[in-house]
Structure 1
Amino acid sequence: MLINPEVFDLGNKIRAVYVPVEGFKTSLITISLLVPRENNLAENIILPRYLTYCSEKYPLPTDLSARCESLYGTVISGSVARKGESSRVELSATCIDNRFAFDGEDIAGSVLELMLELLFNPLASDGRLSEEPFRLQQRLAVERIESEANDKRLYALTRMTEIMCENEVFGISREEILEALKNTDEASAYAAWKTLLKTATVQINLIGSFDKEKSLSLIKEKFSTVEREPAENNTLFVEKAEDVTEVCEEMEINQSKLVLGYRSGMADRNDRMYARQVFTDVFGGGPYSRLFMNVREKLSLCYYCSARLYREKGLVVIQSGIEKDNKQKVLDEIEKQLEIMRENKFEEADFIASKTAICDSLRGVFDSPEGIDAYLNTKIDENIIPMDEVIKNYEAVTREEVAECAAEISLDTVYMLAGKEDGSDE
């Protein structure tokens, strides 16, 4: 099932995206706000959870919970994600689809009103957010980031990107974020909320049964109260690595983590994006990939080995779990497989399997409201191309294009999180 969303440009970098599907039991609303990552980074981590915890109308979490229960058990949440060198602040709600409500009640419309109420009317006074709920969300944000060290695979990936992009916004370190979180306060968070409404690129996803005209009118009415000055969201792309940085750190773990960071050659996020995605997938994406079949299966040099394209930053990252004594063997074999890609000597069956897997995955986007929402959120600051056209673009990628993309990547950073004797893994 391929559905083309209806996109409504409301001006000043605000748009609504309506996906009128009737095959699901739930409807989903997400308000996404995109801002430069370096601006109010700590505050924008706290804000989405604060805004979905309490508000001026619902000062206690029990008040908000009671309102959600009255809306057939609506579930709301807040989160923040990195998109290139921007932060995407999200408020989401999942509710029963209007088709299942009693007496023709417009549940989706009521939930949209609630979400806009939470966004535009936080619990605050005298230019400050309320102290108790703010301190709670501040503490929880610090704890979440500190707990990431328990996931050694994620920790190693984070350390590699910090080192590789040390002087770039993308590489703002975990320690810098924690320090900023601990030093922020209710006044700076309130100011950041006002800045968010004023400067963000905004997209509101409406997935399910909605009164389209009523929803658009409500969104326009709310944002008409804000003096808008949308900021530009830009990301620095470094096309080629100047040299290779190698860093090895130790931790008491059994399985060492080896992470390689490559510059992909991309000048921007749309630079041969389809061919680069297919290259990354054939190289290290699925069970048919060169890295999986050779480094892991054939040679048994690692527990896992995969590659991923970070399109929004132009990076290709390889992650692997290895015995530390096998480091050089793994590096040599990865380079050997990359050379096979560059010389266009990869298997035709693997090339076909990769494109098939990518296209099947895209077709599966419309299998759930959550899948549709996740896909649309990645397009917040770009045109939404019809899915059938996207699939055709992947199907049109040639072997020669894949080999050319392989030839353009250059190794920038080698990071090793090495295990100590008698260490315990994740």
Structure 2
Amino acid sequence: MSIQLTEGVNLHIMPTEKYKTVRIVIKFRAPLDKKTITKRALLSSLLETNSKKYPTQTALRSELSNLFGASFGSSVTKKGAFHVLTLSLNVVNEKYLTMSDSILAKSIDFLKEIIFNPNVTNEHFNQATFVREKENLVDYYDSITDDKQTYANLELQKLFFEEDDQKIPSIGIKEDLAEITEDSLYHYYKKMLQQDQVDIYVLGAIDEDQLVKQFKEFSFESRKLKQKDLFYTPSNAKEIKIKIEQQEIKQAKFNLGYTTPIFYLQENYYAGQLFNGLFGGFPHSKLFVNVREKESLAYYASSSLDTFRGMMIVQTGIDSKKMEKVKEIVTLQLKEMQTGNFTEEDIYQTKQMLKNQLLQSEDNSSAVIERTYSNQLAKNTIMSIEEWMENIEKVTKEEIIGIANLVHLKATFFLSEEVK
């Protein structure tokens, strides 16, 4: 059940007895903008840390303990042409408690405090909190260099995308962080509350009428939404962008970025899922079997799709001296897909693995909400698991071959060991 609390703010109630907890997720969505990505990342950290009523991390954690060990967190991510800031709270299902006080009602009050009463004085975020979270974000940015696979992935995206909005990771960048002040971030926070599309999800054993009544007390104002396409469609490369970087590393990273016509729940989506599963998504895929197992050219080799931005990434961890051979074998595997060199048994196995993957995700309440949110963004409706499986089952070999022939290499990033 979905209810509009005010224009641009929707409450989605998902009653179920399946879980021992109730999960509340609040998503703030805004058009992707280079100028605000880092602000939103820092704001996410500040909102998670404390509030006016709970001015320290200790006080906030103490309140979560009072809510029978509720877990609370925040995150930021990209959805195509949008940036999403998420607050989530997981609290025990009241039927497992003997006390009469409503833990769920208190949990919603907690979120109301976090969202509308941040730790602010005279339109400035608390300086000590602001400085600490800013330093933590700097430390995180610096740590990316040590995580070589993440680093290689982000460098590939800088090559792959033309627009700065898409090049910058969802967590922002260090260069933009320096310009943010306590007051500038507070003024952006107010703008976010007034202008972002807000979607609230509550999943679990719940009293629907009580939920609606309580969330209607949240002081969100009506907001007009800017019309913008959800999906980002990358342009095909006139020539492949190539970057090689040397660092003192033990295992080289060779990543390849491809444009695809595969977008979430759109025309080519289901055939695209089969293509990716056969190409590099599962242990029986061509990349895993031929690059890693048969040729022993890689410590790992896999592919993944970003179905909101029309991108497929192939990730490999290799010996620096074998890059050209790895590139040759990866290219050959794509050609094998394009010519249909895979069996009906391969297709059947991939369909079963995709369906099992989806069924397993049903055990995770967070994954269920995320899928529902993506459904509503892409189709303005909720697709049942049964319908999803039926669409997967209908995919033919010819459709998979057709998709494979619409996948084009656009950029490669090679992180190699230093030549001595």
Task: Give the TM interval when normalised to the shorter protein.
Answer: over 0.9
Q: CA deviation at 1:147?
A: 0.7
Q: CA deviation at 1:223?
A: 4.0
Amino acid at match of 1:356: Q
Amino acid at match of 1:296: R
Give the structure 2 partner of residue 388 of structure 1. Answer: 386
| Secondary structure class of the residue paired with 1:102 | coil
Give the structure 1 partner of residue 403 of structure 2. Answer: 405
Deviations 1:43-80 (A, max 9, x none): 10011221122212222333222222221121211121
TM-score (norm: length of structure 2): 0.93
* Count of aligned residue pairs for this structure pair: 416
> Residue 190 in 1 paired to residue 151 in 2?
no
Give the structure 2 partner of residue 30 of structure 1. Answer: 25
Amino acid at match of 2:317: G
Q: CA deviation at 1:115?
A: 0.8
Give the structure 2 partner of residue 278 of structure 1. Answer: 274
Contact kept in structure 1, 2:9 and 2:222, CA below 8 Å: no
> Residue 348 in 1 paired to residue 344 in 2?
yes
TM-score (norm: length of structure 1): 0.92
Give the structure 2 partner of residue 241 of structure 1. Answer: 237
Please identify, of 97-106 and 293-302, the stretch whose mean Cα deviation from structure 2 is larger.
Answer: 97-106
Q: Quote the Cα distance in structure 2 between the aligned partners of 1:260 and 1:181.
A: 29
Q: CA deviation at 1:119?
A: 0.7
Which of 351, 367, 373 is equivalent to 2:369?
Answer: 373
Q: Quote the Cα distance in structure 1 between the aligned partners of 2:356 and 2:219.
A: 38
Q: CA deviation at 1:387?
A: 2.0
Q: Quote the Cα distance in structure 2 between the aligned partners of 1:404 and 1:189.
A: 48
| Secondary structure class of the residue paired with 1:108 | helix
Give the structure 2 partner of residue 19 of structure 1. Answer: 14
Please identify, of 10-19 and 47-56, the stretch whose mean Cα deviation from structure 2 is larger.
Answer: 10-19
Q: CA deviation at 1:109?
A: 2.1
Q: Quote the Cα distance in structure 2 between the aligned partners of 1:150 and 1:84.
A: 27
Matched ranges for 1:281-360 at <5 A: 281-360=277-356
Contact kept in structure 1, 2:7 and 2:222, CA below 8 Å: no
Q: Quote the Cα distance in structure 2 between the aligned partners of 1:53 and 1:168.
A: 29
| Secondary structure class of the residue paired with 1:390 | helix
Amino acid at match of 2:72: I
Q: Quote the Cα distance in structure 2 between the aligned partners of 1:128 and 1:371.
A: 35
Q: CA deviation at 1:101?
A: 2.0
Contact kept in structure 1, 2:303 and 2:315, CA below 8 Å: yes
> Residue 123 in 1 paired to residue 116 in 2?
no
Give the structure 2 partner of residue 208 of structure 1. Answer: 204
Give the gaps of 5 or more residues in structure 1: 1-5
Give the gaps of 5 or more residues in structure 2: none
Amino acid at match of 2:124: R
> Residue 251 in 1 paired to residue 247 in 2?
yes
> Residue 93 in 1 paired to residue 89 in 2?
yes
Q: Quote the Cα distance in structure 2 between the aligned partners of 1:233 and 1:200.
A: 13
Matched ranges for 1:58-97 at <5 A: 58-97=54-93
| Secondary structure class of the residue paired with 1:183 | coil
Give the structure 1 partner of residue 151 of structure 2. Answer: 155
Amino acid at match of 1:25: K
Q: Quote the Cα distance in structure 2 between the aligned partners of 1:380 and 1:121.
A: 29
Give the structure 2 partner of residue 364 of structure 1. Answer: 360
> Residue 105 in 1 paired to residue 101 in 2?
yes
Q: Quote the Cα distance in structure 1 between the aligned partners of 2:388 and 2:199.
A: 21
Q: CA deviation at 1:266?
A: 4.8
Deviations 1:176-200 (A, max 9, x none): 7211112201111111111211221
| Secondary structure class of the residue paired with 1:57 | coil
| Secondary structure class of the residue paired with 2:326 | helix
Contact kept in structure 1, 2:41 and 2:76, CA below 8 Å: yes
Q: CA deviation at 1:232?
A: 4.0
Q: CA deviation at 1:236?
A: 3.2
375 and 266 in structure 1: CA distance in 2 versus 1, 3 angstrom threshold:
closer
Q: CA deviation at 1:371?
A: 3.0
Q: Quote the Cα distance in structure 1 between the aligned partners of 2:292 and 2:242.
A: 23
Contact kept in structure 2, 1:240 and 1:265, CA below 8 Å: no
Q: Quote the Cα distance in structure 2 between the aligned partners of 1:60 and 1:327.
A: 50
Contact kept in structure 2, 1:240 and 1:264, CA below 8 Å: no
Give the structure 2 partner of residue 417 of structure 1. Answer: 415
Contact kept in structure 2, 1:81 and 1:89, CA below 8 Å: yes
> Over the residues paired in the alignment, what is the CA RMSD in angstroms?
2.1
Q: Percent identity?
A: 27
Q: Quote the Cα distance in structure 2 between the aligned partners of 1:167 and 1:220.
A: 39
Deviations 1:355-409 (A, max 9, x none): 1111111112221323323433444633322222122111111111111000001
Q: CA deviation at 1:421?
A: 5.1
Q: CA deviation at 1:125?
A: 2.4
Give the structure 1 partner of residue 216 of structure 2. Answer: 220
